[in-house]
Amino acid sequence: MGNIVAKDYIVVYRSGARSDANRVLSTRGGVSFSNEFDSGEGDVDLRSVGEDPIVYAELDMAAVSMEADAVAGVRSTRSDAILFVEEVREYAVQLPFDSRGGATRMDVDGDPPVPAAEPASRSLSVSASADLPSYLRGYLQGVAGLTGNLLGGSVGGGVLPGMPAIQGLATPESMSLAEARVAEASLTLPSFPSTEAEFEVAGSQGGFTWGLEATKASISRLTGAGVRVAILDTGFDFGHPDFSESRFGGHKFFITNTASDSHGHGTHCTGTACGPRSMSGGYGVAPEAIIFVGKVMNDQGKGDTRTIAAGIDWALQNGCRLCSISIGAQQEPSKVIEMAAQRAIQKNMAVIAAAGNDSKRPNIKLPVSDPANCTSVLAVASLRQQGSGFALSSFSNGALPSRGWSIDIAGPGENVYSSYPVAKGGFQRLNGTSMATPHVAGVGALIAQSRPDWPGFGIMNALIQLAAPLPIQVGQVGRGLVQAPLNVDWDRV
């Protein structure tokens, strides 16, 4: 009694277990499959499931109508053919508004909405669109128009709102999808003094590194205090004078027999993410974060899927909120690392990785390395200083038209000053997406400090939300230059 109202549910099958799952639904859920409807067969009003289940064969799911008791029966089954059952929720169309206050035109016959911007911008011709399906043409035009608007109506020599003129930005002759063209542009931002020349000594005595200034970590009131940050790399030189023992929450080696770093790469990356910073200077983005050193790479800089997966697991189990992985290989995304990251970011930890340094721009552009090319891992490109602005590093891997992998964000990755093993001089300037990555992880720690209960994907979304757009193709730098939140109220609207 009382449970006689049937509601609609989506039942998610284990991949390949459709017939077993249907049997469970019939025997325990009272669902009849005599008239099941394959969603691929034609039009169906999905708003009313009715008596007959609708099977989404490609998705390994079905929409069924069940009473609460039947749902409980299905959920309590010992069969593993059904992963979970979720009640159908209501969603509504979100009508976007353009800057003039009117609703954006939305076609109902299958075309995606085209932003109510100027029609395809004059300088962004969509030359490759002639033989594309109409929805792709519409999408391309929308993107072109939107890009044109964002860049002040014209890309070549355009002006970003509130920013000085762009210098040296080549006008792309065509923004076609077929040609991933890199505009190696320099953007003049409101200038901050370059302290690079004066920066001779470590820590607080010599001013800030250019990376801390470019990311605004230099003026942030956040320090990453209490946030656990894992650096999965070649380890750390625990004898370094800039890092007291109290800075470390733990260390573990997954390769070799010590977490100590005689290579240098790990000590450098750790310094950028978590090294010292005061009001007057420094090289570390999150100087009060708790450092977890995971040595997943040996002293020759080699590791493997097993060591990296074990490192991610260790970081997650130790409550780390950030996992910085300056590691890569030119290969397809690892399903293991993707799944590990997927599980981590649903919990407390964001996973950030280097795009890789295999390119020689402008001639050779190579795709984002694994594991940065995993969907659930934030991919970081490298920038260099150019004048008072920034340009894409020639070595930085990026999006290619032949692959779906893309860059999410960019960070300072050239001439990066940070800690180094004492036996090798104590400090070093290095280049690489490896150096850009811990800048992003450090900023992630500042975000995590300000939002203690956020899951990993929330931190990653905030990193993208805060980034400063660059006049460089999004496929090469993602949303733009990583920017530190200045205080806890960074998302107040």
Contact flag: residue 381 with other proteins (CB under 8 A): no
Q: Minimum distance between the CB of residue 211 and other proteins, rounded to whole angstroms?
A: 16
Based on CB atoms, which residue is closest to other proteins, 104 or 252? 252
Options 354, 399, 407, 459; binder of other proteins; rule CB under 8 A = 354
Query: What is the C-alpha to C-alpha distance for residues 433 and 416, in angstroms, rounded to an integer?
Result: 11
Shortest distance in whole angstroms from residue 59 CB to other proteins: 16
- Using DSSP's 3-state secondary structure scheme, residue 440 falls into helix
Q: What token pair was written down for 232? A: 């999965």
Footprint of other proteins on 239-258 (CB under 8 A): none
Site for other proteins (CB under 8 A): which residue of 53, 115, 271, 303? Answer: 303
Q: Give Cα 107 to chain centroid, integer Å.
A: 31
Q: Considering the complex, state which of residue 209 and residue 369 has its C-beta at the smaller distance from other proteins.
A: 369
Spot the catalytic one: 218, 220, 233, 268.
233
Does 127 help bind other proteins (rule: CB under 8 A)?
A: no
Query: Does residue 59 touch other proteins according to CB under 8 A?
Result: no
User: Angle, nearest 10°, between helix axes 456-466 and 335-346?
Assistant: 90
Q: Which of 316, 409, 460, 466 binds other proteins (CB under 8 A)?
A: 316
Helix (H) / strand (E) element for 346: namely helix 335-346
**Binds other proteins by CB under 8 A, chosen from 9, 243, 314, 405:** 314
Residues that contact other proteins, how many (by CB under 8 A): 49
Question: Alpha-carbon distance 382 to 361, whole Å?
Answer: 12
Per rule CB under 8 A, is residue 36 in the interface with other proteins? no
Query: What is the phi/psi pair of residue 7, to 5°?
Result: -125, 165
Q: Are the CB atoms for 224 and 250 separated by under 8 Å?
A: no
Please tell me whether residue 360 binds other proteins under the rule CB under 8 A.
Answer: no
Active site residue 233: yes
Residue position matching structure tokens 């295999």: 358
Q: Does 375 bind other proteins (CB under 8 A)?
A: no
The one catalytic residue among 129, 326, 394, 434:
434
Tell me the three state secondary structure of residue 387. coil
Instruction: Return the exposure string of 192-215: e unless at least 16 CB atoms fall within 10 Å of the residue's CB, then b.
Output: eeebeeebeebbbebbbbbbbbbb
CA distances from 211 to 215, 382, 443, 483 (A): 6, 11, 11, 10
Span of 76-84, 117-125, 236-244, 478-486 interacting with other proteins by CB under 8 A? 76-84
Could you tell me how far CA 21 lies from the centroid of its own chain? Answer: 35
User: Nearest approach, Cβ of 322 to other proteins (angstroms)?
Assistant: 15
**Residue 159's beta-bridge partner residues?**
165
Determine, following the binding rule CB under 8 A, whether residue 17 of this chain makes contact with other proteins.
no
C-beta of 80: minimal distance to other proteins in Å? 6
Q: What angle do CA 329, 331, 335 make, to 5 degrees?
A: 100
The pattern of x and - marking residues 390 through 429 that bind other proteins according to CB under 8 A reads ----------------------------------------
- The label of the residue with tokens 């005599």 reads 34
Residue 434 annotated in active site: yes
Query: What tokens were used for 345?
Result: 């970011």
Q: Where are the alpha helices (DSSP H) in 13-82?
A: 18-29, 68-75
Binding mask 146-185 for other proteins (x = CB under 8 A): ----------------------------------------
DSSP assignment of 177-237, as one string? TTS------B--PSP----TTT--SSGGGS-B-HHHHHTTGGG-S---TT-EEEEEES-B-
**At closest approach, how far in Å is the CB of 286 from other proteins?**
20
Reading the block at residue 161, the tokens are 């709102």
- Examine residue 331 and tell whether it contacts other proteins (CB under 8 A): yes
User: How far is it, in rounded angstroms, from Cα 60 to Cα 15?
Assistant: 6
62 binds other proteins (CB under 8 A): no
Residue 188 in contact with other proteins, rule: CB under 8 A: no
105 binds other proteins (CB under 8 A): no
Supply the minimum distance, in Å, between the C-beta of residue 14 and other proteins.
Answer: 7
Pairing of strands 378-386, 350-354: parallel
In one-letter notation, the amino acid at residue 417 is Y
Of 188 and 270, which CB lies nearer to other proteins in the complex structure?
270
- 272 to 301: interface string for other proteins, x by CB under 8 A: -------------------------x---x
Q: Specify whether the CB–CB gap between 314 and 253 falls below 8 A.
A: no
Q: How far does Cα 446 stand from its chain's mean position? A: 16
Distance in Å from the first CA to the final CA of the chain:
48
Which of 312, 445, 447, 467 is in the footprint of other proteins by CB under 8 A? Answer: 312
Contact 491, 450 (CB under 8 A): no
Is 265 one of the annotated active-site residues of the chain? yes
Catalytic (active-site) positions? 233, 265, 434
- List contacts with other proteins (CB under 8 A): 14, 80, 83-84, 233-234, 265, 297, 301-306, 308-310, 312-314, 316-317, 325-329, 331, 334-336, 339-340, 343-344, 347, 353-357, 369-372, 432-434, 437
